[in-house]
Amino acid sequence: MSTLTAEAPVVLSASAEVVAERRRRPGWLRRHGRALAALAVLAGVMFPFLWLVQLAFRPAAGIFDDALLFTPTLEGFASLLQGNFLRSFWNSLAVSTLSTVLSLAIGVPAAYALTRWRFRGRRQVALWILVTRMAPPIAFTIPFFLAFRWLGLQDTLVGLALVYLTFNLAIVIWLMQTFFEAVPPALEEAAYIDGCGVWQAFWRIALPLTAPGLAATAVLCFIFSWNDFFYALILTRTQAVTAPVAIVNFLQYEGWEWAKIAAAGTLVALPVVVFTVLVRGYLVRGLTAGGVKD
Amino acid sequence: MASLIAAPAGGWQAERRRAFAFGLAPALAVLLVITLLPAAALLVGSLTPLSLTDPAGTFRFDDPLVNYRHLLGDERFLGSIGTQLQLSVASVALQLGVGLGLALLLDGRSAVLRATRTVFLIPMVLPPIVVALIWKIIYTPDVSPVHRALEAAGWPVRSLIANPDTALWAIAFADTWQWFPFTLLMVLAALQTLPADPVEAASLDGANRWQLFRYIVFPHIRPVLVVCGLFRLIDSFKAFPLIYVLTDGGPGNVTEVTNYYGFIQAFNFSYWGYGSAIAMVILAGVFLLSWGIGKLGWNTHEHPDR
């Protein structure tokens, strides 16, 4: 490898001279052209999102103004405090946290067992879990809607958190398997020899070693629950309404109050954007889970 | 291996198996209750004319295929499948194109490009309802920067989502905006595993950029593109928030996809049996495509070729 890299520059610089001879063009644009183009595209792509955010800070009276410059105000956010929006925001937070904790508690040991235990039917189980991720929500919603009416779980946070397990468990089991696979089994085998049981070894060795992966998985579960709209729309009425449903209610009943609506949208987007920037690397792994051959 | 250690460690092996089964059992039990049970209930429900008006009286099986027979003659349902296919094909093709193009642009080592790659993820992770809200604003002439600019230029346009000719395209465009980062991510990952030698050799042989792409880069990323396409196709059957917020299936029913029609039948008209039958049809489509992915050999966690 080292000989290759030592030779390559020589060859390249020889050919580079020929190329440079042919088109002796300004170097600056050539060197930074790609980055400039990327930034230009980025600005274009992000424009609709930024427009929403700036709308949230506009004074309600000047919402239809053409002026690009305006005095930012928090009126939009302040008006959210008066209605039921805070409550729905809290509901979203509670239901996402509850569902994340539940799916980690149930899913992480299962992922560990699936990684370390080669049993017959393991492939079928793994496939079943993958298909769960693929299934369209409407297929689950009708039975859940009817069952929840009967069980009295309709319009409750617990019911909603249970439904979110349908996608979160699959995510936890898939993702944590890839993290556990990266832990060398020899470490746990050494612990067995020292007299640890399977789950003691899991708790003391495998789990601490996968802590960053565990955190990333938790973040993803949280985001997926936080982002859900379809289940919340159908399975809640008034008590357990989540923030995305509250936004739609604004659009339907107060459709002219754009500053308020945009403020609500910005608030709901905020945690997700923060998480994205914080845990980018792991996020990529999770978002493409089941898609990337790793 | 097993026979070698069977005598002394047999008891321990059995104990280990029991411990693993103990860890796996709760997850499988929960999955059974929240996925297989509802799927079975859906199938059973789809064989009855179950509806809100008379839940007890309509839960009967004297004509189990009645819903499916109705589906075959339901113009609105058949139309919704056509709409679904149009929307899915258009938006998946756009996503693949945009994602691939951007991946080629962003595949570099500079700090600027790396930072840009992170920001480009945002549309995909945003709550779908916020994406829908963003595009509702863009498509609403009152508050849309685009509409205002066009108006200022003396060229006012009708809202794209109110016009039956453009409504589906407006949704496809918003959907593309939301999901191109998925293809971008996957293609970027594939590009990073592109071996450098063939590229160098070809460029020394005088291949131009297009030839490099056509004969070396593209064959390398083609499998990833196929998988991306299938994944996005499956997910596109679930499109809901964009349609719910932007058009509500209209104008008329030009943007009413199958998923949305199922939602209307089940939750607006409370024809649960009929809605279940529609959901079964979507489920069958998803299974077929998933099976296609399985055939391609992805995600088995066991790759003999590696």
- The pLDDT tens digits of the residues spanning B55-91 come to 777 777 888 888 898 889 889 999 999 999 999 999 9
Q: What pLDDT is stored for residue A13 in this prediction? A: 47
CA–CA separation, B66 vs B62, rounded Å? 9
The per-type count for chain B, helices as H runs and strands as E runs, is 15, 0
Q: Kindly list the structural domains of chain B, giving each domain's residue range(s) and its CATH number in brackets, ordered by start.
A: 69-300 (1.10.3720.10)
Find the CB nearest A169 among B30, B123, B129.
Answer: B30
- Core vs surface per residue B124-139: b (16+ CB within 10 A) or e: bbbbbbbbbbbbbbbb
pLDDT band at B7 (very low <50, low <70, confident <90, very high): very low
Mutate which of A36, A140, A293 to test chain B, going by most B C-beta atoms within 10 A? A293
- Core vs surface per residue B147-177: b (16+ CB within 10 A) or e: bbeeeeeeeeeebbbeeeebbbbbbbbbbbb
Considering only CB atoms, which chain B residues are within 8 Å of A268? 127, 129-130
CA–CA separation, A263 vs A277, rounded Å? 21
Which residues of A, range 74-113, sit inside 8 Å of B by Cβ? 106-107, 109-110, 112-113
* Local structure of residue B253 (DSSP, 8 states): T
Q: What pLDDT is stored for residue B297 in this prediction? A: 57
Q: With beta carbons less than 8 A apart as the criterion, state whether B240 and A229 touch.
A: yes
pLDDT band at A198 (very low <50, low <70, confident <90, very high): confident
CB–CB contacts below 8 A, A to B: 270
Verify whether the Cβ–Cβ distance B227 to A291 is below 8 Å. yes
pLDDT beyond 60 at B4: no
pLDDT tens digits, A235-257? 998 889 999 999 999 888 887 78
pLDDT beyond 60 at A267: yes
Verify whether the Cβ–Cβ distance A143 to B42 is below 8 Å. yes
Which residues of A, range 231-260, sit inside 8 Å of B by Cβ? 233-234, 244, 247-248, 251, 258
pLDDT tens digits, B142-198? 888 888 888 888 888 888 888 888 899 999 999 999 999 999 988 988 888 888 888
Verify whether the Cβ–Cβ distance A135 to B286 is below 8 Å. yes
pLDDT beyond 80 at B294: no
pLDDT beyond 50 at B305: no
More confident residue, A18 or B268: B268
CA–CA separation, B171 vs A165, rounded Å? 29
Determine how many CB atoms are found less than 10 A away from the CB of residue A231: 23
Mutate which of B33, B104, B134 to test chain A, going by most A C-beta atoms within 10 A? B134
| DSSP codes of every residue in A27-76 | HHHHHHHHHHHHHHHHHHHHHHHHHHHHHHTS-GGGTT---S-----SHH
Q: With beta carbons less than 8 A apart as the criterion, state whether B141 and B159 touch.
A: yes
pLDDT beyond 90 at A193: no
pLDDT tens digits, B212-253? 888 888 888 888 888 888 888 888 888 899 999 999 887 888
What percentage of residues in chain A have a pLDDT greater than 90? 36
CA–CA separation, B172 vs B160, rounded Å? 12
CA–CA separation, A31 vs A138, rounded Å? 50
One-letter amino acid of B81:
I
Ramachandran sector of residue B157 (left: φ over 0; alpha: ψ -120 to 50; beta: rest): beta
pLDDT tens digits, A85-116? 899 999 999 999 999 999 999 999 999 998 88
pLDDT beyond 90 at B99: yes
Cis peptide before A143 (omega within 30 of 0): no
**Cα dist. A158→A97, A145, B17, B241 in Å?**
11, 14, 33, 23
Which residues of A, range 25-64, sit inside 8 Å of B by Cβ? 34-35, 37-39, 41-42, 45-49, 51-52, 55, 63-64
Mutate which of A142, A196, A207, A256 to test chain B, going by most B C-beta atoms within 10 A? A142
pLDDT band at B3 (very low <50, low <70, confident <90, very high): very low
Strand, helix or coil for residue B298: coil
pLDDT band at A184 (very low <50, low <70, confident <90, very high): confident
Q: With beta carbons less than 8 A apart as the criterion, state whether A288 and B183 touch.
A: no
Verify whether the Cβ–Cβ distance A11 to B204 is below 8 Å. yes
What percentage of residues in chain B have a pLDDT greater than 90? 36
Report the chain B residue with the minimal C-alpha distance to residue A1.
B197
Strand, helix or coil for residue B181: helix
Q: What pLDDT is stored for residue A25 in this prediction? A: 55
pLDDT tens digits, A128-168? 887 787 788 899 999 999 999 889 998 999 999 999 999 89
ipTM beyond 0.90? no
pLDDT tens digits, A50-76? 999 988 888 877 666 666 667 777 888
Q: What pLDDT is stored for residue B286 in this prediction? A: 87
